[in-house]
Amino acid sequence: MSGTRRILLGAALLIWAATGAAAEWSNLSPAQQQALRNFEPRWQELSVQQRERLALGSERWLSMDQAQRDNVLERFQRWQRLPEPQRQRLMQRFQQFRQLTPQQQRQIRSRLNRYNRLSPEQKQRLRNRFQQLPPEARGRALERMRDRARLNRSTNGRGADSVPRGNRARNPSSSDRRPQSRQ
């Protein structure tokens, strides 16, 4: 295919997607239509963005095995049971996460994976240790975590590694293990 044809095809696809044609019911595969059958009566009432997201979601759904689908359904049911203020807080945190650089997101995932690999007893000891801190110390630890997150956001993806060591916010999980300064 020539370069000109490729450009014209790309432009046509962009126009097609921008007009919402990609999210028309008739453009969905039969498998997608089956997965989204409950939405068909109201399909035209949905915004183009909602239709596109549902179409994309149906593609993901169709690519999942049964265990993955069960997991998604269980998480969705848990989400539905959450109080609205907690849902709002989680959605806000997710939006903040999405604004991080890919490197920052990987760091957070890595920390979460490390936490998830801890035994239930280790997790409980960590929570107990935090809860046993005096309220002021808990507040300081939370503020250090917030400062670190702000620092990471303000370094435009360079991360804390680009900040001179003496200027870094201290890691709350390790600060309690450091010996107090001797006088």
Give the pLDDT confidence score for residue 153 in this predicted structure.
Answer: 65
pLDDT tens per residue across span 111-125: 889 999 999 999 999
- Between CA 108 and CA 66 the distance in angstroms is 28
Q: Per mean pLDDT, which range of 3-17, 22-36, 76-90, 132-146 is the poorest?
A: 3-17
Residue 8 has pLDDT above 70, yes or no: no
User: Between residues 154 and 79, which one has the greater pLDDT?
Assistant: 79
Which of the residue ranges 4-18, 74-88, 133-147 has the most confident prediction, judged by mean pLDDT?
Answer: 74-88
Percent of the chain with pLDDT over 90: 24
Residue 2 has pLDDT above 70, yes or no: no
Give the pLDDT confidence score for residue 53 in this predicted structure.
Answer: 86
Give the pLDDT confidence score for residue 72 in this predicted structure.
Answer: 87
pLDDT tens per residue across span 124-166: 998 899 899 999 988 888 888 777 777 766 665 544 444 443 4
Tally of CB atoms within 10 A around 127? 10
Give the pLDDT confidence score for residue 5 in this predicted structure.
Answer: 56
> Residue range 79-102: average pLDDT?
91
User: Where are the domains positioned within the chain?
Assistant: 1-69, 100-160
